Structure 1
Amino acid sequence: MLIPHEAATLGEVLDEAARRWGELPLLAVPANPQRAYAPQGLEWTYAQVAGQVATLGEAYARAGYGVGHRVGLLLENRLEHFVHKLAMNALGVCCVPLNPDHRPAEMAYVVGHAKLDLVIAVDSLMPLLRAALDHTPQRPALRSLEAIGPLPAPARAAEPRAVRADDIASVLYTSGTTGRPKGCLLSHRYELAAGQWYAQRSGLATFGEACERIYNPLPVFHVNSLIFSFFCALLKGNCQVQTDRFQPSRWFTEVHESRATVVHYLGVVVPMLLNQPPHPLERAHQVRFAIGAGVDPQRHAEFEERFGYPLIEIWGMTEMVRAIFDADAPRRVGTRAIGRPQPGLEVRVVDDADEDVPDGTPGQMLVRHSAATPRKDCFSGYLDDESATEQAWAGGWFHTGDVVARDAEGVLHFLERRKNIIRRSGENIAAAEVEAVLQSHPAVAQAAVLPVRDEVREEEVLACVVLKPGHEAQALASDPLAQALLAHCRESLSYFKVPGWLWFTDEIPTTGTQKVQKHQLFAAGTDPRQAPGMLDLRALKKRQASA
C-alpha cells in the first residue's frame, strides 16, 4: 500500500501508483447496451489513467490554468470525471463537481458561489448549463467534453507557485439548514487521508492489495464515490468499477460481470434489491462485503441471507474524512450500530448545552481527530463562510448534527438527524430550501417541510401548506392547485426535492416568537401519511430532462 507523506499532492501519489501498478486496472465501467457511451464497457489501467492525466494536464497548463482556479465538471458518472479532476489537481486547479439533476437556478447558485473559471460538460447537459448562466452574473468559459481543440483560457492568471498538500482539490456542495448549500473545501491531504483511512480498516472490511474491485453505483459528485472509495482503490492498487447510476434491474448482472469484490450501497438499495424477483446471478458473485449506511434493521438479515454477503453499516459525512465502521465481531445485524471511536477519531455524545450524556442517552455526536490536532485531515472549512465553519467547530469539536446513543460497550448507534435535513435515497435535502420555493407561490401563505418515513427511499418530503385567503384546494392529488404547487417546485428544484406528500392545513403551530413548531403538526406516535386530507404525490416525482 502507498502511504502518502503528509506533504504529498494528488499528482505525486498518482504518478507513484502508476509506477507501481501500471498494467493493473484502476477504473472500469460495466457494459450496458442501453447506455449512450461505452455500451460495451470500459477499463483503464493505472498507466493509461496517468497518461491521460498527463496529456490533459498539459492542455490545461497551455491554456493558463493553475493554482487558484476552479473548474466545474458536469460529466455525470463518466470515467472522464476522474481523469479531468486528477489533471486539474496536479496543476493546483480546484475541481467543483456539478449535479446533473439540478435545475437551472440551483446550478446557477453553485456556479456563482464557487466563482467558476471554466465548466466542462457533456453535450447533453450543455442546455442545462446555459440555462443556469441566465440566473447568475458569473461567466465561466464553457467546454464540451466531446469538443476537440485547445481549452478556452481563464479570465485571470494562476498563482505563480507550486502545488501544496493543503491546497483545495475539490469543493463539494452539501445541503445546509438555511436552504443554501455550503461548499465544503477538501484539500489534497484530506482526499488522500480519506482513502488511506478506508483502505486500512480491519475485520470484515479488510482490503487486499492489487486484487479488489470496488463496485460503486453512487454519484460522482458525492464524496463517497469521488474520494472515499476511489482513493482507497488508488492507494492499494485496486480498481473502482463506476457504473452510471444505481439500477435495480442491472445490479446483479453488473456485480457479476464486473467481478466486484466490494460493493457500496445506500439504504434505498436494500429494499429495491429485495423487491426484485429471483435472479439467476444474485448469488453468482465474488463480493466479500458491502459498505453503506441507512439499511432498515428489519431487512438487514434478510438481505444477507438472500444474497450471501455482509452489509457493513458506517457513518460518515463530507466534512469529516473518517468514517465510523462496524466491521468487527461480534456483528450487530438488526440494529443501527455504526461502530466505535478509534485512534484518530474521537467522539462525544452531548446534550443541547454540549454537556456529555450518559451511555444509553440520545445526544448529538461530536467528532475530532484528537485534542492536540482536532481538525487534522478534516475539511478545510466552508467556502466564503468562516462563521459557519467556526460555529460547526465550537469548543474544538465538529458538531455533526446527528443524534446517536452509546451503549455500555462503547458502540455508537445512529438514531436520527438533528438538523433540518431530509435524507431521501442518499440525497440530503434542506427543508428550508423547499419551504422557500413553496412560499414564493402566490397562493401560499406559509409552508413547513419535514421528513416522513418511506419504506423504499428512507425518507420522503412532506410539505404542509397554509393557503392565502381566496385560495382553496380539495384533498385530491388531481386538484389543480396541488398540481400547480408541484409544477412550481419542479421549475426550481431537483426532482428528488419536490414534495412527495402534500397536506393543506389551516394553521402551522408557532411559538410566541413565531418559530415554527413542526413537531406539533401531527400527534406524537402517529404516521403523518395517514392524516386526513394527506395527498400522495410520489408517483408524480420523476427524473426530469436536463433543461
Structure 2
Amino acid sequence: MSRDIRYRSPADAFAATAARLPDAPFLIAPASAGLPYAPDGFRIKYGNFKTDVDRLRAEYAAAGYGRGARVALLLENRPVFFLHWLALNALGVSIVPINPDVRAEELSFQLELSQADLLVATSDRIHVTRDAALGRARLIDTDSRIPACESDVTGQDPSFESECALLFTSGSTGKPKGCMLSNRYFLQVADWYLAQGGVAALRPDREINLTPLPMFHMNALGCSAVGMMVLGGAVVPLDRFHANRWWQCVADSGATVVHCLGVIPAILLQLSVTEVERQHSVRFAFAPGVDVRHRATFEERYRIPIVEAWAMTETGGAAATTTAREPAGFGARCVGRPSDGMEYRLVDDQGADVAPGKPGELLVRAKGDAPRAGFFSGYLKDEEATEAAWDGGWFHTGDLVYADEDGLMYFFDRKKTIVRRSGENIGVLEVESALYMDARIGGCAVTPVPDDIRGEEVFAFIVPNTKVDDDDALATSIVKVCAERLAYHKVPGYVAIVDELPLSSTRKLARGEIKTLAAAAVASNRAIDMRALKAKLRHS
C-alpha cells in the first residue's frame, strides 16, 4: 500500500469526510443525465447525507442487523444504494449488490448462495424478483419497515477484516462465484487508485468522479465510490452509459475524472463532432481495455488521456497495474506496471518462469509475510476453489501476460474460458448450462468472438437433437428461450447450427479450435447474427 489505511471501513471514511466537509457535494447528477428516477438531477452534500445514513443505521440496528448478516440491494446506482450500503457497513453488515438485469434463476442462485437475510429493492424494480426463489431473504422496498434480522449477529460495528460486500464473478464452474470482499479490500482498492500518480494524480477535496459502471463491480464500488469518500471528492453515479447525452452530462456535472470501459471510447468516436464535447473539465479517463486503434484518436479529439489498468475482483488493489505514469503512446494492450505492494510471476503450463517478451500465466500475491493481504477473502462456500486459485502460495489469475525488458506488462489473452463483453466477464459454462436446459439442444459450445464495439461477443455452436429445416428459426427460438434464463448480455449474439463439436483426445471440448472456428464463421458470414434480437430482448 502507498500509505497506512486509517479507517476501519468505507463508512468510517465517509463519516470522517462528512465531519470535515459537511457542505461539500457527495453525490451529483445533472438533469442532462436523463435519470428516470431523478429527471431534475440532484446534488447531495456530505453532511445532509450523513444525517440520513445515521437515521437508517439506527433503524437497521434496532432490527438487530450487524456482523454476520448479509443484505442484498437491488438499488442500481441510485443515491438510495449508497444510503443503505453506508448504513449497513457502519454496523458491519455485508451487502450483496444485485445486477438489475438479473433473471429469476440467477437471482435465486445468488440469494441462495449468499443466504441474504433481506432483499431491498426500489418499487419500480420489485418485478425483477417476481419469479425468483427468495430463500430466507425477505423482500422489502425502500419505503418499507425493516424486518428483524434472523442471522447470528456478533456485533454492530465494522472491523477492518470483516466482510463488506459479496460480489459475483465468473469462474471455471457453470455458476458465478461469490467473492467475499472485506473492508480492508475496498480501502486498499481506494488507496491504490488514489496513489496512481502521473496523469491520474488526484487532488484532495476537488475531484468529481463520473462513472456509468455498476456498483456491483469493484471498479465503481472501490475506485469511484470509496476512492472519493477517502479523498473528499464527489461521485456522479449514472444509471448506465448513454452516448447521446454523455458529453452534456460530463460538462454539466463538472466531472474531472471519468470511468469507462474499452467499448465506450469506441462508441463515442462514432458520434458527430459537437461543441459540447470540448466543454468538459476532465483530466483523465480511467478506461481499461481500450483498443489501441481508438486510444490515440480519442485522446486527440477529446483532449483526455486514457489510463489503462489491470486488476481482478479477486485481487483488488493488492495486485493491480496502471499506465498512469507512462509516457503517451504506450503499446497495444499495455496495462502498465505493477503496484508497489505486488509480487508477480509469469509462468508456462509447467509452472516455470517464462522469458521476457513471452506470454505466461500471471501469478500474483502481496509482498511480505501475508501474501493474501488485501485480496478477496475467498469464494463463498467453495474452499476447494479458493485453495486451487492460491496453489503454491500464488494467486493464479488465468490471464496470459508478457513483460518487456523495461518491466512494462502487456495483456495477451485469457487462459480461462471467459467472454469479456462491454466489460462484463461472462463464463461460457454458465451460458452452456442455460442452453442445455433447452430440450432441443443435444450439444453446445460457447466461446468469445471479436467485436469492434464491445470487445467480444458471445458465440454459440448448437448441435440440435433432431433434423432442422430452418436454422434461422431454430436459432431465434433458442436465443429467446435463453434470454428467459440469463441476463441479456450473456445471451449468444451469434449462433451456428452444426452437426458435431470439435473434441480433444480425451473427449473434452477443444476450446482453442472452437474459438478459431467461431471467429472464422463470423468473418465469412456463416454464423447467424442474433445481435439485433439480443438488443430487443434487453428491453423486453
- TM-score w.r.t. structure 1 length? 0.94
Percent identity among equivalent residues? 40
Equivalent residue, structure 2, for 1:221: 216
Equivalent residue, structure 2, for 1:517: 510
* 1:531 Cα offset (Å): 4.3
Aligned partner (choices 412, 417, 420) of residue 415 of structure 1: 412
C-alpha contact 1:30 1:243 (8 A) present in aligned 2: no
- Write out aligned runs for 1:131-530 (5 A): 131-133=131-133, 138-145=135-142, 147-148=143-144, 150-160=145-155, 162-322=157-317, 323-468=320-465, 470-475=466-471, 479-521=472-514, 527-530=520-523
Q: 1:473 to 1:124 in 2, by over 3 A?
A: farther
Deviations 1:70-92 (A, max 9, x none): 00000111021112111101111
* 1:299 Cα offset (Å): 1.4
Equivalent residue, structure 1, for 2:93: 93
Deviations 1:67-123 (A, max 9, x none): 111000001110211121111011111110001101100111001110010011011
* 1:43 Cα offset (Å): 1.5
CA distance in 2, matches of 1:525, 1:153: 52
What code does the residue aligned with 2:297 have? E
Question: Helix, strand or coil for the counterpart of 2:260?
Answer: strand
* 1:219 Cα offset (Å): 0.9
CA distance in 2, matches of 1:473, 1:154: 56
CA distance in 2, matches of 1:522, 1:86: 43
CA distance in 2, matches of 1:525, 1:86: 45
Deviations 1:28-59 (A, max 9, x none): 12324743211111122221222111111001
* 1:483 Cα offset (Å): 1.6
Query: Does 528-537 or 195-204 show the bigger shift?
Result: 528-537
Question: Helix, strand or coil for the counterpart of 1:245?
Answer: coil
What code does the residue aligned with 2:467 have? H
Question: Helix, strand or coil for the counterpart of 2:277?
Answer: coil
What code does the residue aligned with 1:302 have? T
Question: Helix, strand or coil for the counterpart of 2:346?
Answer: strand
Equivalent residue, structure 2, for 1:119: 119
C-alpha contact 2:10 2:229 (8 A) present in aligned 1: no
Question: Helix, strand or coil for the counterpart of 1:529?
Answer: helix
Question: Helix, strand or coil for the counterpart of 1:354?
Answer: coil
Unaligned runs of 5+ in 1: none
- TM-score w.r.t. structure 2 length? 0.95
C-alpha root-mean-square deviation of aligned residues, in Å?
2.0
Deviations 1:2-33 (A, max 9, x none): 96646723333322221222211122123247
CA distance in 2, matches of 1:73, 1:162: 20
CA distance in 2, matches of 1:236, 1:279: 33
C-alpha contact 1:29 1:79 (8 A) present in aligned 2: no
What code does the residue aligned with 1:474 have? D
Q: Which runs of 4+ in 1 moved over 6 A?
A: none
Query: Does 259-268 or 158-167 show the bigger shift?
Result: 158-167
Deviations 1:329-387 (A, max 9, x none): 32334521111123201221111122110000011111111142211111111111111
Equivalent residue, structure 2, for 1:534: 527
C-alpha contact 1:252 1:279 (8 A) present in aligned 2: no
What code does the residue aligned with 2:214 have? P
